[in-house]
Chains A and B, each alone.
Chain A
Amino acid sequence: MNDERSLLRSLQQGDQTALRCIYERHKDDLLTVASCLLVDRTAAEDCVHDVVVSFAAGAARLHVRGTLRGYLVACVANRARDQLRRRTGHVSLTGAEDDPRLAAPGADPAAEAEEREEAARLQEAVAGLPYEQREAITLHVHGGLTFREIALQQGVSINTAQSRYRYGIARLSELLTPRFKK
């Protein structure tokens, strides 16, 4: 935490190294959260880009309560929600992307293919959840936010946030049950 505060102080003085350090430390978490919420790699990258740029631009006036990771994750969640609201119904070219970034290098090809298939199935199931449930799960599992923080984020009670999480997990469990019964 002290290290984090120190980083923030340096950032507020315009220290580019601190910016780089903060980005390197949290980039994958932020992209994972954005990808789960937006279900779109390109949109997720744009979301992370915009959040980090806004964060840097406003660094001098920044007051972070709690952890920096929690703050940035919350920013990603807000931005993702805004992006989803703006999406309109015109031409949607959703589809597969041959993205080598998603593959773990050096892994056994068969196992890797299976893992990728599993990950794809899981993410598809997550994408099918109501947004509030998806957000509660993503912020808790990938963003590391507590239910209290999620409740604040969603503007609901802690119980509601917990319920959304539980319902979401239960729904995923139903959707993917055949896999576990195999």
Chain B
Amino acid sequence: MTPSDEIERLLAGYRVTTDAALDRRVLADASAALARGTTMAPVAKPSRFWIWSIIMQNNWTKSAAAATILAVAGVTLVILARSATPSYALEQTLKANQAVRTVHARNVSPPAAEPQDMWLEYDDRGGVLRLRLEEGVGKTFRIMVWAKGELRWFSPSKNEFIVMHAADVQQELRSAMELWDPKFALESIHRLEQQGAVKIQVKMPKADGEPITVEATETKRPEELPVGGYPLRYVFLVDPKSKVVIQRDTYRLVKGSYGLHDRRRYLEYYAPIDPGKFVLEPPKAVKLEDRTQGIGMAQDKMTDAEAAAAVLRQYLEALITKDYATAGRLYNGKPADELRQRIEEQLKVRYLRVVAIGKAEPKPEGGPRVFQVPFAVELEKDGVKEIAGPPVKSGAGPRTQRKVTVRPVVGKPDRWVIEGGI
């Protein structure tokens, strides 16, 4: 083997791998970007496990994922939205839905699915005013309420309570609400039928009291389906008197036959909902994470570049004093315990002092008012002190610069947070 061959072999063997923090950051931001860039609803139904795990792992994605849960909860109605026809029954249903002010829906899918109850209240114009979602049973039970501009989430078994501004997840909420709105769903079905994406069959009841059955079958060819996707059929049972949908089933075509995948019943359409359903207050001694308060650092009279450097300094100083609550708030609202675990148990480092904070540089590809700030800090790891940052040669990989990305808080342009890079 020649030296050149050896060089090529060595080069090919060099590989850098991503870590969980980068994966979460990239996927959260890319998912949001994808949602903004596409108008169609997701074709694949994410599992609830995935959604909750994302919520609990990453603060930045919590908001988006929490809203996505709404979409998951209502995805069946989206699916319903995939296929419709302006048939006699459907047109009447569309009209009936306009008068709907409340809905109580329940997920009664096959045994593997979690129990799920959703109460929705509409305003006079038919928009969603507030909602309550109850999911899971026993240790997995949790509640989410969206009302008065706030999204509140509570897990009794974990004793965790999260409050966030609905405005911070406005787009996701709007999308989710569209998914829950029966009018939106059925109009979408109608559109899809016009596009030839579904074929509708209406079966009128054979006897009094039986529901009207509307069957919508996807006409997609196999190559048009998402990876691992199944052709779907949606079956809606429509109350012959009120003309509202009382049940929605989703079937998947597997090995030549349709099997029930998801079943959702609409139990109440017009019954007033107890206003208390839409009130969720944190119990005493709960682990409260209030993301509406104190996230980030106030800019005051600082320039953007000064604020970017200042938030980094405050963050590092909080780490030095092990004030993880403060550090977490500056790190885009990262939960204190998650941050402590990352630093003390995973990285096993102790922050000793700030050596230098460099000049903040604009990072236009990250968006307006996004900066990168270089820094150096003295650390202790395994009893050995070291300066991480100044120009010294790396012995453990490529030479690196310590820089963090800093930006204003979403929806609060006068407050600054660290986005990532620590």
By a beta-carbon cutoff of 8 Å, the part of chain A in contact with chain B is: 3, 6-7, 9-21, 23, 27-28, 31-32, 35-36, 39-46, 48-50, 52-60, 79, 82, 86, 88, 90-103, 116-120, 122-124, 126-127, 137, 141-142, 169-170, 172-173, 176-177, 180
Q: Which of A19, A21, A42, A90 gathers most chain B CB within 10 Å?
A: A42
Interface pair A118/B10, CB less than 8 Å apart: yes
Residues on A with beta carbons closer than 8 Å to the beta carbon of B394:
95-97, 120
Is B256 positioned at the interface, with any CB of A under 8 Å from its CB? no
CA distance A3 to B223 in the complex (A): 10
- Given A13-B43, A15-B43, A44-B16, 5 further pairs, Cβ under 8 A: A17-B228, A32-B16, A43-B401, A93-B389, A176-B3
A120 to B387, CA, bound (A): 19
Q: Cβ of A42: which chain B residues have Cβ within 8 Å of it?
A: 400-404, 421
User: Could you write out 14 A-B pairs with CB less than 8 Å apart?
Assistant: A10-B229, A14-B38, A15-B42, A19-B27, A27-B18, A42-B421, A46-B403, A55-B30, A90-B359, A91-B356, A93-B356, A95-B390, A96-B395, A172-B7
Q: Give a binary string over B372-416; 1 marks a CB under 8 Å from any A CB, 0 the rest.
A: 101110010100001111111111111111111100000000000
Given A18-B226, A170-B4, residue A97 in contact with residue B27 (CB < 8 A): no
Give chain A residues whose Cβ lies under 8 Å from the Cβ of B402. 42, 93, 95, 97
Do the beta carbons of B379 and A98 come within 8 Å of each other?
A: yes
Residue of A at shortest CB range from B39?
A14
**Is residue B129 contacting chain A, with contact meaning CB distance below 8 A?**
no
Which of B46, B365, B387, B391 is in CB contact (< 8 Å) with A79? Answer: B365
Partner of A95, one of B14, B15, B388: B388
Contact A40 B400 (CB under 8 A): yes
Contact B356 A35 (CB under 8 A): no
With A95-B388, A96-B394 known as contacts, the answer to whether A17 contacts B7 (CB < 8 A) is no
**Complex partner residue of B391 from A50, A95, A170, A173, CB under 8 angstroms:** A95
What 8 pairs across the A-B complex have the smallest Cβ distances? A14-B38, A57-B33, A10-B226, A56-B30, A91-B358, A41-B400, A56-B34, A102-B397
Residues from chain A with a CB closer than 8 A to the CB of B359 are: 90-91
| A residues in contact with B12, CB < 8 Å | 141-142
Give chain A's interface secondary structure class: helix
A45 cross-chain contacts in B, Cβ below 8 A? 18, 22, 420-421
In whole Å, how far is A57's beta carbon from the nearest beta carbon of chain B? 4
Q: In this complex, what residue of A is CB-closest to B29?
A: A53
* Structural contact, A28 and B421, CB atoms closer than 8 A: no
Chain B residues within an 8 Å CB radius of A17? 42, 44, 46, 226-228
CB-contact partner of B40 in A14, A36, A99, A102, under 8 A: A14
A101 in complex: contacting residue of B3, B4, B19, B30, CB < 8 Å: B19
Is A95's CB under 8 angstroms from B374's CB? no
Contact (Cβ within 8 A) B42 A123? no
Residue of B nearest to A4 (CB): B227
Q: Determine the distance from Cα of A39 to Cα of B400 in the docked complex, in whole angstroms.
A: 6
B132-166 interface bits toward A, Cβ cutoff 8 Å, 1 = contact, 0 = none: 00000000000000000000000000000000000
* A57 touches which of B11, B34, B399 (Cβ 8 Å): B34
Instruction: Determine whether the beta carbon of A60 is less than 8 Å from that of B38.
Output: yes
Chain B residues near A55 (CB-CB < 8 A) = 30
Q: Please indicate which of the listed interface residues B26, B31, B228 has the most CB atoms of chain A within 10 Å of its own CB.
A: B26
Q: Are the CB atoms of B26 and A49 closer together than 8 Å?
A: yes
In the complex, which of the residues B27, B36, B391, B405 contacts A92, with contact meaning CB atoms closer than 8 Å?
B391
Interface residues of B in 191-240 (CB under 8 A from A): 223-224, 226-229
Q: Is B41 an interface residue (CB 8 A)?
A: yes
Given the known A-B contacts A10-B226, A90-B359, A95-B388, are A116 and B395 also in contact in the complex, defined by CB atoms under 8 Å?
yes
In this assembly, does B275 line the interface, its C-beta being within 8 Å of a C-beta of chain A? no
Q: How far is the CA of A177 from the CA of B363 in the complex (A)?
A: 40
Of all chain B residues, the one with the shortest Cβ separation from A118 is B10
Give chain B nearest CB distance to A9 CB in angstroms: 7
Residue contact A141 to B393, C-beta cutoff 8 Å: no
Known contacts A97-B388, A97-B394, A98-B349, A173 near B7 by CB under 8 Å: yes
**Neighbouring B residues of A126 by C-beta, 8 Å:** 11
When the two chains form their complex, are residues B388 and A98 in contact, meaning their CB atoms are under 8 A apart?
yes
Rounded to whole Å, the gap between the CB of B98 and the closest CB of chain A is 28
In the complex, what residues of B have CB within 8 A of residue A53's CB?
26, 29-30, 33
Considering the chains assembled together, what is the distance between the CA atoms of A6 and B226 in angstroms?
Answer: 7
User: In this assembly, does B261 line the interface, its C-beta being within 8 Å of a C-beta of chain A?
Assistant: no
Cα A142 to Cα B266 with chains together (Å): 54
Contact status A28-B358, CB under 8 Å? no
Q: Tell whether B366 is near chain A: CB-to-CB under 8 Å.
A: yes
